[in-house]
Each structure stands twice: as structure tokens, then as C-alpha cells.
Chains A and B, each alone.
Chain A
Amino acid sequence: MLNCKEVTRLVSESFDRQLTLRERFGLRLHTMMCGTCHLFRQLQERIYEAIILCGRRDSSESTEPPLPDEARTRIDSAVQTAITNRSGTRKLDH
């Protein structure tokens, strides 16, 4: 019978590859008897679900902070410089 260490490893891997029949059976048997591993698996599934629903959503709905003003000014001036340089050297590119 698998121990908890092996089972958590299988739970992790189940997100990244198809487990074999034997592995799935061992996992099921263990989590039927071990509440901690059962909850570990459930928690991993919930975390994964939350990331798909919220973590992967479009940036325009993101709760992350906006670009800080100081960085905005700095980046904008780098962009304007790059535009000027580009129009200056454009003919040399080809």
C-alpha cells in the first residue's frame, strides 16, 4: 500500500499526466482511508479550479494593481525615445 508521501506525489502528477490504472487504484484506496490525503487532493483540485477561473482571466478583469505612475512616466519616455530613434534609422534598416 502507498504511503502519504507517495500519494501526494501522485496527486501532484495527476495534474500533469494521465496516471496509470494501478496508480489511480492505489490513490483511491489510500484516500478512502486517509482523511489528510483525501483533503490534500480536494484542496489541490480547488486551487487548480480557482486558478483557472480567476488566475487565468483576462487582465482587464484582474484585481492586480495598475502600472505605478512613476513607472508609467519612465516607460513612456523610453517608448517616445524609441519611436524617435526608429524613425531616424528606419531607412538604414534595409
Chain B
Amino acid sequence: MDETGTTPDVTLEPSQWVEAYGDYLYRYAFSRLRDGNAAEEAVQETFLAGIRFLDQFSGDGSQRAWLLGILKRKIIDHVRQRMRYDRDGAGDTNPDFSGDLFDAKGFWKPGAAPWSNTPDSPLEAEELWAIVRKCLETIPKGQADVFVLSVMEELAGDDICNELEITPSNLWVRLHRARLGLARCVGSKWAHSAEVSEYVE
């Protein structure tokens, strides 16, 4: 079977969905959830919900986009669920999280900003994305998740607060911590990759 099953504008029987849309939806879920098991569950739940609510698919627009819409809901559900069990990254419990980055006067501590040593030549977006993608796995889930919902899923701040039952100030703290953590991780990987390539040359 060729890949025509995955073109956006066809309507298939649910029995063909996994074959046609499985990879597409899984890649999407995996990039947002960064966890294979969670992504598999979200995809399965999407197909099952799609079967249950098949009558509601109007036929306008593509079936794949309709299923993606369901998946986006399921991704939020998964984030909410794991945030309930895992309070890491919660800003309210530890307001002075940046003590290891800044001194008492609020200036950078030595070594706290690895991006200062990155090379002048900018990375291509593709290379940078590959690093960011890895770094999202190194920062606490509770920070990475809100960052992904905000920047990749483009959810408004109010919606994220409502969905995850967190306060706006908690959301901003999480987003800020995510950005600080990403900058440190991306900065050090970037500086390191430059050292390696200089060494090879």
C-alpha cells in the first residue's frame, strides 16, 4: 500500500485509521508529550473517541484534521493528569528558584550563563530545534509542559490556567523557569558542539 492513505483530504473507514493516521498522530503527540507511552495512549484515546463521535464528523475539512483536533484535547488531558501527580516545576512552592543563577543583588553568578560562550556563527533553525527538543526533556515536566502548550500548541495563557487549574502567576513563573532552563541547556550544548567541531577541524 502506498502512502496515499495519509493525504489530508481523504475520508477512510475507522478500520483503516491506524494504518493511515497512526504515525501522523503519534509524531504530533510525541513531540508535545515527549513520552512514548503517553503519546501511544493519547493516540489510542483519539481513535476510540473518533469512533464514538463519528456521527459528529461533518465531512467538511479533512478527517485527519478532525482527528488531530481530538488529539490536541487528549494531549491537554494528559498534561493535566501528569501535573496532578507530579508537582515539579511548580513555582509557588519555591519562589526563589533562581538563587543558583543570580547573586544577592540579582546579577549573574559566574558560570550561570553558558550561552555567553556560544560561537558567533548562528545555528540553523533546524539544528537549534534539535537541541531545543532535547533540552525540553531535561527541564522539569511541569515547566516544559506549560511551555509547550503556550509556544507549540499556541494556547492562550487564560486557557492554560483554566485547563491545568493553576493561577496566572504560577503560569508565568513556570514559563519563565522553562525559558531560563532552556537557555542554560541550549547554551551549554551549543557551546559544547562548537568546541567539538573546532577540535575536529
Contacts and interface: CB of A to CB of B under 8 A. Distances in A.
Interface of A: 3-6, 8-9, 11-13, 15-16, 35-37, 39-40, 43-44, 46-51, 53-56, 59-60, 62-68, 71-72, 74-76, 78-80, 82-83, 86
A59 B24 contact: yes
Contact of B129 (A4, A5, A51, A67): A51
Nearest to A9: B176
Given A47-B182, A82-B14, 15 more contacts: A3-B107, A8-B180, A12-B175, A12-B179, A13-B172, A54-B129, A60-B6, A65-B30, A78-B48, A79-B14, A79-B18, A82-B47, A82-B51, A83-B15, A86-B52
Interface of B: 6, 14-15, 17-19, 22-28, 30-31, 36, 40, 43-44, 47-48, 51-52, 54, 68, 98, 101-102, 105-108, 113, 115-116, 118, 122-123, 125-126, 128-130, 132-133, 150-152, 154, 157, 172, 175-176, 179-180, 182-183, 186-187
How would you classify the secondary structure of chain B's contact residues: helix, strand, loop or mixed?
A: helix
B176 to A, nearest CB: 4
Contact of A40 (B40, B107, B115, B175): B115
Contacts of B116: 35-36, 39
Contacts, number: 158
A39 B118 contact: yes
B150 A59 contact: no
A75 B21 CA distance: 12
A22 to B, nearest CB: 18
Report, nearest first, the 6 A-B pairs whose CB atoms are least far apart: A3-B106, A54-B129, A5-B106, A67-B26, A64-B27, A50-B128
A37 B107 CA distance: 10
A71 B25 CA distance: 13
16 contacts: A3-B102, A12-B180, A36-B113, A39-B113, A40-B115, A46-B123, A50-B126, A53-B129, A55-B129, A55-B132, A55-B152, A59-B25, A64-B30, A67-B23, A72-B18, A79-B15
B160 to A, nearest CB: 10
Contacts of A62: 27-28, 31
Given A39-B116, A71-B40, A75-B43, A65 B15 contact: no
